[in-house]
Amino acid sequence: MKISYHGHAVVQIQTNGKTILIDPFITGNSLTDLKAEEVKADAIILSHGHNDHVGDTVAIAKRNDALVIANADLTTYLSWRGVKTHGMNIGGAWEFDFGKVKFTQAFHGSGYTTNDHEIIYCGMPTGILFMSEGKTIYHAGDTGLFSDMKLIGERHPIDVAFLPIGDNFTMGPEDAAYAAKLLKAKMVVPIHYNTFPPIKQDPHRFIEMLEARNGKVLNPGEAIEL
């Protein structure tokens, strides 16, 4: 399994001959190494409905005939925009041909803002557990710290946890470091920082805060293999 980071909260997973994208915010993301019109994907998983996470989902899904997996309210909205979807909800899991996906709770918002200044309700925000090839990846999405992260780690031993550290909209470095302690992941990778001025952070300082010394900063385009 190959896992790469592409700025903001964009994560790509290659496993079982498939490519899965999480939160493909590419257009407007100054930190990404990707080009939206060139991205290949068999499936797209979305943590919630904010524009900086839905991003280029519709265009990428239509061009690749990719399946979009998200909470049921968000997938209903996206299906109206002409893409294939699989709706789920918090606590639910489903076995796909590339691996198993389970949604966890997250504490955040989830509204999609249109060009007409409307906000579309997109259901509850989620974290994502992705299981394939005997490995478990946790993408926390956008969230504040919550104590049930300990339960998530106990129920699903995590190989890599992608945690937001930007503060202001999500956990900051201090809370994210405590989240890592609760989750007991083998490796922790910071996400959701430096894209916009309110979430400016030093990811290396975050790594130094981890008690287990198990963090790794991934530059956009950099990958790890499990």
For the chain, give the mean pLDDT: 98
pLDDT score at 136: 98
**pLDDT one-digit tens code per residue, 198-224:** 999 999 999 999 999 999 999 999 999
- Decide if 8 is inside a domain: yes
For residue 151, which amino acid is it? L
**pLDDT one-digit tens code per residue, 5-49:** 999 999 999 999 999 999 999 999 999 999 999 999 999 999 999
> Cα–Cα distance between 226 and 106 in angstroms, integer?
26
> Cα–Cα distance between 139 and 191 in angstroms, integer?
9
- Decide if 30 is inside a domain: yes
Provide the 3-class DSSP secondary structure of residue 102.
strand
Q: Find how far residue 219's CA is from the centre of its chain.
A: 16
- Decide if 173 is inside a domain: yes
**pLDDT one-digit tens code per residue, 105-119:** 999 999 999 999 999
- Decide if 156 is inside a domain: yes
What is the percent of the chain where pLDDT is above 70? 100
- Decide if 225 is inside a domain: no
Beta pairing partners, 197: none
- Per the CB < 8 A criterion, the answer to whether 44 and 67 are in contact is yes
Q: How confident is the model at residue 127 (pLDDT cuts 50, 70, 90)?
A: very high
pLDDT score at 68: 98
pLDDT score at 9: 98
**pLDDT one-digit tens code per residue, 158-170:** 999 999 999 999 9
- Decide if 226 is inside a domain: no
Q: How confident is the model at residue 84 (pLDDT cuts 50, 70, 90)?
A: very high
- Decide if 222 is inside a domain: no
- Decide if 91 is inside a domain: yes
pLDDT score at 135: 98
Nearest by Cα to 40 from 27, 56, 51, 28: 56
Residue 55: domain span = 2-216
- Name the domain count of the chain: 1
> Cα–Cα distance between 63 and 129 in angstroms, integer?
26
CA-to-CA dists, residue 186 to 10, 23, 119, 212, 216, angstroms: 20, 23, 38, 9, 11
pLDDT score at 64: 98
Region 155-184: mean pLDDT is 98
- The CATH number that applies at residue 11 is 3.60.15.10
pLDDT score at 102: 98
